[in-house]
């Protein structure tokens, strides 16, 4: 694994990152770079596909906002050959990389023409919270945010704390990246850490003419400490969510204000079906059916099928959930969907000894059969 340090000029981390992205985009075999960037028409940050190095002045991969999981964008860019125009570098959060790896395994994307550039993740606010914060803040809010986080200060701002999905994420380091940009355990006022973690990453590393160095010894301890803190928060979240959803009655209460908008399905990066069963005629009930259900109990909640919808999604997605939290971000009624999905998914993934997005070589659990798997359930060998 090749490791280098890049000097941070004048303590400006964002300017240094932008210059690094320019150097990548100027390579002969890189045709474009996908990177979060401030839009000129509004003070928001969205994924942008850039081909002109001079158009990277607004790149801001450290902005504490996560409007969408860009794995779906990378899936669209890579699902078919690009026509020999060169590779695309994509700058992603760790959960976006893990989601993209799952999509590749589900035949929804390809890795041949893409270079994954991952950055240590500092977390993000809920989308609605970030919008309110940024309206009241100076333009260099990102800089103040990352300095506070990396110095160990509280990440709450104006009464808003980080998204629970980020606080419960035990994968802050983009281990699946071809090129890793390290922040934890690094003096980011002076240096950035760059690592080539795959043969593809090493090719790009060599072309950038970086000077080899050693990873600072403080990095491993900083990452370990952060993961321990997030894991403790995660386990507490699991316990609290289990307590309020461990019966049908409690689950009905938990999901009571679901309106079947399906935003969580659309926002989920690994929910990829072209036609969801819930938007087919299977759930386009006849008017008389609603009256029959109402007559049976005297009253029914409308719309119907809300709990069934979430249970079905859990059955479909719990082995692939990467915990990015976009389902909760997209919910108009603030249902803690992420907490429920992560709680169930953690148990499902543990049962199958499967970690989504860890390796492209790991086959999705329900796509293979192993005789020695779950013998206590299927009874093989008894």
Tell me the three state secondary structure of residue 16. helix
Nearest to 340 by CA among 252, 227, 276: 252
| Cβ–Cβ under 8 Å, residues 53 and 22 | yes
d(CA 47, CA 91): 9
Nearest to 12 by CA among 138, 152, 135, 144: 144
Low pLDDT (below 70) residues in the chain: 137-139, 154-158, 370, 373-382
Predicted pLDDT of residue 381: 57
Contacts of 85 (CB under 8 A, 6+ apart): 31
List the structure tokens of 235.
């386990």
SS3 label, residue 367: helix
| Residue 262 main-chain phi, psi, to 5 deg | 65, 15
Relative to beta strand 2-7, strand 191-196 is antiparallel
**Residue 152 backbone class (left: φ over 0; alpha: ψ -120 to 50; beta: rest):** left
pLDDT at position 26: 95
Q: Is residue 221 within 8 Å of 255, Cβ to Cβ? A: no
């Amino acid at each position: 694994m090749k490791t280098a340090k890049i000097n941070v000029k004048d303590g400006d981390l964002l300017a240094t990152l932008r210059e690094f992205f320019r150097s990548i985009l100027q390579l002969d075999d890189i045709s474009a770079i996908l990177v979060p960037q401030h839009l000129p028409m509004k003070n928001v940050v969205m994924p942008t596909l850039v081909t002109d190095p001079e158009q990277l002045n607004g790149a801001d991969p450290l902005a504490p906002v996560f409007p969408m999981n860009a794995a779906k964008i990378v899936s669209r860019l890579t699902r078919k050959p690009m026509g020999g125009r060169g590779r695309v570098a994509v700058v992603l959060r760790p959960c976006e990389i893990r989601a993209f790896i799952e999509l590749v395994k589900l035949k929804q994307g390809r890795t041949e023409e893409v270079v994954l550039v991952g950055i240590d993740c500092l977390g993000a606010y809920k989308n609605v919270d970030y919008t309110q914060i940024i309206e009241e803040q100076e333009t260099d809010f990102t800089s103040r945010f990352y300095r506070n986080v990396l110095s160990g200060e509280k990440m709450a701002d104006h009464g808003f704390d980080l998204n629970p999905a980020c606080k419960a994420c035990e994968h802050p380091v983009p281990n699946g990246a071809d090129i890793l940009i390290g922040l934890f355990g690094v003096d980011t006022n002076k240096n950035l850490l760059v690592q080539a973690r795959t043969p593809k990453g090493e090719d790009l590393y060599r072309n950038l003419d970086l000077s080899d160095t050693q990873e600072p010894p403080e990095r491993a301890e900083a990452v370990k400490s952060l993961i321990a803190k997030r894991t403790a928060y995660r386990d507490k979240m699991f316990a609290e969510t289990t307590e309020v959803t461990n019966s049908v009655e409690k689950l009905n209460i938990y999901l009571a204000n679901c309106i079947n908008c399906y935003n969580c399905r659309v926002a989920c990066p690994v929910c990829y079906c072209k036609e969801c069963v819930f938007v087919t005629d299977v759930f386009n009930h006849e008017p008389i059916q609603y009256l029959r259900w109402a007559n049976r109990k005297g009253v029914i909640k409308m719309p119907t099928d809300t709990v069934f919808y979430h249970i079905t999604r859990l059955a479909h997605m719990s082995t692939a959930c990467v915990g990015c939290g976009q389902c909760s971000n997209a919910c108009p009624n603030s249902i803690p969907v992420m907490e429920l999905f992560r709680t169930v998914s953690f148990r499902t993934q543990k049962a199958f000894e499967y970690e989504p997005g860890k390796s492209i070589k790991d086959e999705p659990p329900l796509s293979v059969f192993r005789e020695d798997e779950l013998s206590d359930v299927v009874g093989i060998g008894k």
